[in-house]
Amino acid sequence: MAINWTEAQIEQIVASVMKGLKADAPISKCEYNGEGYNGKKYIGVYSDMNDAIDAAEQGYKAIRAMSLEEREKVISIIRDLCRKEAHIMAELGVSETKMGRVDHKTAKHMLVADKTPGTSDIQAQVKTGDYGLTLTEMAPFGVVGSITPSTNPSETVICNSIGMIAAGNGVVFNPHPNAIATSNYAVDLINRASAMAGGPRVLVSSVIKPTLDTANIMYKDPRIKLLVCTGGPGVVKSVLSSGKKAIGAGAGNPPVIVDDTADIKKAGKDIIDGCTFDNNLPCIAEKEVFAFNNIADELIDAMKANGAYLITREQADKLASIVLVEKTNPKTGIKSKIVNRDCVGRDARVLLEKIGINVCDKIRCIICETDFNHDFVQHELMMPILPIVRVKNIDEAIDLAVKAEHGNRHTAHMHSKNIDNLTRFARAVETTIFVKNAPSYAGIGFGGEGHTTFTIAGPTGEGITSAKSFTRLRRCVLSESFRII
């Protein structure tokens, strides 16, 4: 698990992946026929959620019967297949959801294959004393019901599967309705790995047409002991109010502070690299910048030197009226703005075309100077659009950045060499992830220390989830014996 990628290595991975892509026939469009795609029938995907739960329960029984070594064998083949088929899933994901970038999605699959913890994450604890020995073990919950998103679809299915299988659970997935082909491709991949390792043909399962109704069947079925939800605010809320033990990974709106002690050139590059990763789909990605006034011009120049295109306030307002749309709540009649689904995860070039600006492919991010109340600051867009708000000092920066994060306690970033400023912001913002002097993706192990996940459970507190998050603790006490000292 100790993989410390340097920037040069990351670029090398992306370059080799792109080379591989050219060699393979492109998937020009997603031909999902419900049961499979491009003529291939998926294994473990059912038309009825009840059948999918039956299958996941059988999978759970099979996992329970496996030794840790056998589980690890399945996981190791999942990792191999994930690496080999990363570009297929990346192309399928972009083709189906119309969001993100193939090269970055491929790199995200590599990250999942390399840095999702397996069975080594499951550690027993022992306490001995005058009264004997007490053993605490991390046990599986049983069958887990997992709700997965459209933003990182196959990445989440594979990452969840590795962690849940390592912990000894069975899994049934209810993928996002806009990413069914990609998510179920990943379900099929897990089942192929199981069969190759000598395990059952169906280890994890899913449904052909997931909806909120199929999700509700999953919530209510007594065989589902744990719900894990990675998604938008609506679906996370529905899981957390299901009455079952649930792990929720939801929205963020990560702010970035840049003070006048930072390496400004590096900060400009890091912020653009993080903000544009998979066109801003990862929920950890930089969403708005608070820059000290005395370095803001230099920071903007550094961003422009790294593929950012600066638009005027008028152009920003015009773009905001396109990328956000008004929605009326049918129950309350209250109007609010939501992101325009057709703009989420799109290339900067495509978004600029919408306001009549034509640029080359080298432009990967749209930047603009705004005030704090601008829609770009207040709404999590998940697009390569980055508003920059000038601030006088660290007090104002922290005050506004905390407000912009809206109490999600998800992720925040800072570029600074001032330890006091870094510490003050980290304490004030209380986020699950706090990245200092690096692109946001360092926070999920891409060029940073630590394991990876696409299920960042802020609301329920598990944080950067891994196998141990999907376990329940069990205690076994042996009285007055087995202490050997």
Among 18, 21, 339, 357, binds ligand COA (CB under 6 A): 339
Q: Which residues of 173-186 are buried (b: 16+ CB within 10 A; e: fewer)?
A: bbbbebbbbbbbbb
Q: Tell which positions 432-461 bind ligand COA, by CB under 6 A.
A: 456
Among 234, 330, 333, 356, binds ligand COA (CB under 6 A): 234
Helices (H), 277-418: 293-304, 313-323, 348-353, 375-378, 394-404
Q: Which residues, including other chains, have CB under 8 Å from residue 424's CB and lie 6 or more apart?
A: 394, 398
- Tell the smallest beta-carbon distance from residue 105 to ligand COA (Å): 13
- Tell the smallest beta-carbon distance from residue 146 to ligand COA (Å): 9
Confirm or reject binding of residue 232 to ligand COA (CB under 6 A): yes
Stretch that binds ligand COA, among 24-32, 174-182, 312-320, 360-368 (CB under 6 A): 174-182
- Tell the smallest beta-carbon distance from residue 54 to ligand COA (Å): 19
Among 344, 366, 377, 412, binds ligand COA (CB under 6 A): 344
Confirm or reject binding of residue 215 to ligand COA (CB under 6 A): yes
Q: Which residues, including other chains, have CB under 8 Å from residue 5's CB and lie 6 or more apart?
A: 13, 446, 447
Confirm or reject binding of residue 387 to ligand COA (CB under 6 A): no
- Asked if 153 contacts 176 with a C-beta cutoff of 8 angstroms, the reply is yes
Task: State the number of binding residues for ligand COA (CB under 6 A).
Answer: 29
For the four alpha carbons of 25, 26, 28 and 29, in that order, the dihedral sign comes to positive
Residue 187 to residue 251: CA distance in whole angstroms: 25
Compute and round to an integer the Cα radius of gyration of the chain. Answer: 23
Q: Which residues, including other chains, have CB under 8 Å from residue 181's CB and lie 6 or more apart?
A: 30, 32, 37, 92, 96
Residue 311 to residue 313: CA distance in whole angstroms: 7
Confirm or reject binding of residue 175 to ligand COA (CB under 6 A): yes
Stretch that binds ligand COA, among 102-110, 161-169, 248-256, 358-366 (CB under 6 A): 248-256
Stretch that binds ligand COA, among 13-21, 40-48, 206-214, 465-473 (CB under 6 A): 206-214
- Tell the smallest beta-carbon distance from residue 161 to ligand COA (Å): 15
Among 89, 92, 157, 235, binds ligand COA (CB under 6 A): 235
- Tell the smallest beta-carbon distance from residue 284 to ligand COA (Å): 8
Confirm or reject binding of residue 158 to ligand COA (CB under 6 A): no
Mark residues 411-430: x for contact with ligand COA by CB under 6 A, - for none: --------------------
Stretch that binds ligand COA, among 131-139, 141-149, 260-268, 309-317 (CB under 6 A): 141-149
Residue 461 to residue 69: CA distance in whole angstroms: 30
Q: Which residues of 261-292 are buried (b: 16+ CB within 10 A; e: fewer)?
A: ebebeebbbbbbbbbbbbbbbbbbbbbbbbbb
Q: Which is nearer to ligand COA, 262 or 284 (CB)?
A: 284
Nearest to 228 by CA among 183, 151, 288, 164: 164
Q: Which residue is at the shortest CB distance from ligand COA?
A: 232
Stretch that binds ligand COA, among 46-54, 243-251, 270-278, 296-304 (CB under 6 A): 243-251
Antiparallel, parallel or unpaired: β 170-175 and 143-148: parallel
- Asked if 157 contacts 15 with a C-beta cutoff of 8 angstroms, the reply is no
Confirm or reject binding of residue 283 to ligand COA (CB under 6 A): yes
Confirm or reject binding of residue 204 to ligand COA (CB under 6 A): no
Confirm or reject binding of residue 249 to ligand COA (CB under 6 A): yes
Indicate the burial class of 430 (C-beta count within 10 angstroms; 0-12, 13-18, 19 or more).
Answer: middle
Confirm or reject binding of residue 279 to ligand COA (CB under 6 A): no
Q: Which is nearer to ligand COA, 149 or 268 (CB)?
A: 149
Q: Which is nearer to ligand COA, 262 or 323 (CB)?
A: 323
Nearest to 280 by CA among 292, 271, 291: 271
SS3 of 95-150? HHHCCCCHHHHHHHHHHHHHHCCCHHHCCCEEEEECCEEEEEEEEECCEEEEEECC
Q: Which is nearer to ligand COA, 330 or 356 (CB)?
A: 330
Query: Which positions lie near ligand COA, rule CB under 6 A?
Result: 147-152, 174-178, 210-212, 215, 230-232, 234-235, 249-251, 283, 339, 341, 344, 382, 456
